[in-house]
């Protein structure tokens, strides 16, 4: 019986979904602790790895992976994987590209709207008996007609572009490659350099990968380029934003509000600088996880492993990255 090692920890309903999707002829291996040492101990037993996005799969781990045939990523981010080591060892890596695009894009739109409408503050005040309709209302804003700056134009960002269409926004975007002219025209989009995007956008939403080039991209200097009172959204990777700089920008008014689903350290520490602020929405890296997307991710991931084991490579739904 082939073994599949899960690097993420699942409990309760998520675990029951995982177990219900395991194909016949396979058994699951779980880490006793979510640590690198546990992974080093367990990896020699694994025929396959279902890799989450948090625990690092390093060269040292791969050196001990004596029986490893393939790695299937449950999501899309690659920053937890040593890609050079995987390539050197010839271990195939499959990525569920686009599997949670709808979920993350919807979450980004939710954070945009909730930030513009200052939803956490309005909700808190209403529950506390504060009924200042006009006074609170005029501090909120509509999305219609705003300029939205999108950093990164992958599957999630393209899905978000579609969701934004009914709001008649103006879209600036920055990416390593420019989209086709027809896509730009159809969606009222304009390609821009990062400085221009930050200077002109009412809302900046991040959808790029975490790389050496994008690490700490949103820092004190780049926040200083943004419009006063702008909104910042991040559903990509926490390492792209400096939480201390974001906290300061929220305090001094450079940012009016922020919605962050991802964080430099996860779970967030007790001294996280954004925890005590009223004008920020924090969610626990949940954008890509709904009942719908989670079951789809698990179903496709385990089916891909089954197809790989049986040599039915043409039926694998994931993108082969390596």
d(CA 259, CA 276): 14
Instruction: Give the relative orientation of helices 155-164 and 101-116 as an angle to the nearest 10 degrees.
Output: 50
Question: Is residue 266 flagged as an active site residue?
Answer: yes
Question: Is residue 285 flagged as an active site residue?
Answer: yes
d(CA 256, CA 118): 9
**DSSP letter at 228?**
T
**DSSP letter at 260?**
E
Q: Is 38 exposed, middle or buried (0-12, 13-18, 19+ CB in 10 A)?
A: middle
CA nearest 25: which of 9, 53, 48, 7?
Answer: 48
One of 59, 266, 312, 315 is an active-site residue; which one?
Answer: 266
CA nearest 68: which of 314, 300, 321, 308?
Answer: 308
Q: Is 94 exposed, middle or buried (0-12, 13-18, 19+ CB in 10 A)?
A: buried
CA nearest 52: which of 9, 8, 94?
Answer: 8
The SS3 call for residue 152 is coil
Question: Is residue 237 flagged as an active site residue?
Answer: yes
One of 117, 118, 174, 237 is an active-site residue; which one?
Answer: 237
One of 117, 285, 303, 306 is an active-site residue; which one?
Answer: 285
Catalytic site residues?
Answer: 237, 266, 285
């Amino acid at each position: 019986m082939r073994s599949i090692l899960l690097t993420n920890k699942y409990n309760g309903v998520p675990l029951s979904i995982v177990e219900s999707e395991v194909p016949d002829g396979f058994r699951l291996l779980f880490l006793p602790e979510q640590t690198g040492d546990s992974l080093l101990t367990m990896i020699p037993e694994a025929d396959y790895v279902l890799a989450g996005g948090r625990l690092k799969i390093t060269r040292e781990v791969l050196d001990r992976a004596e029986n490893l045939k393939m790695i299937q990523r449950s999501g899309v981010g690659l920053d937890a994987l040593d890609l050079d080591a995987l390539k050197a060892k010839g271990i195939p890596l499959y990525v569920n590209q686009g599997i949670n695009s709808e979920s993350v894009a919807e979450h980004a739109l939710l954070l945009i709207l909730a930030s513009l409408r200052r939803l956490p503050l309005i909700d808190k005040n209403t529950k506390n008996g504060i009924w200042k309709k006009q006074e609170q209302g005029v501090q909120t804003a509509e999305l219609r007609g705003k300029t939205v700056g999108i950093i990164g134009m992958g599957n999630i960002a393209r899905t978000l572009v579609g969701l934004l269409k009914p709001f008649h926004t103006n879209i600036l975007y920055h990416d390593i490659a420019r989209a086709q002219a027809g896509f730009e025209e159809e969606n009222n989009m304009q390609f821009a350099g990062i400085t221009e995007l930050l200077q002109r956008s009412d809302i900046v939403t991040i959808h790029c990968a975490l790389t050496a080039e994008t690490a700490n991209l949103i820092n004190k200097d780049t926040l200083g380029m943004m419009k006063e009172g702008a909104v910042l959204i991040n559903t990509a990777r926490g390492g792209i934003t400096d939480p201390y700089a974001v906290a300061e920008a929220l305090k001094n008014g450079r940012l009016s509000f922020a919605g962050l689903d991802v964080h430099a350290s996860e779970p967030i520490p007790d001294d996280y600088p954004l925890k005590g602020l009223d004008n920020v929405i924090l969610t626990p890296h949940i954008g890509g996880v709904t009942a719908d997307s989670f079951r789809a991710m698990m179903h496709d991931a385990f089916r891909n492993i089954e197809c790989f084991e049986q040599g039915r490579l043409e039926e694998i739904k994931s993108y082969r990255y390596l």
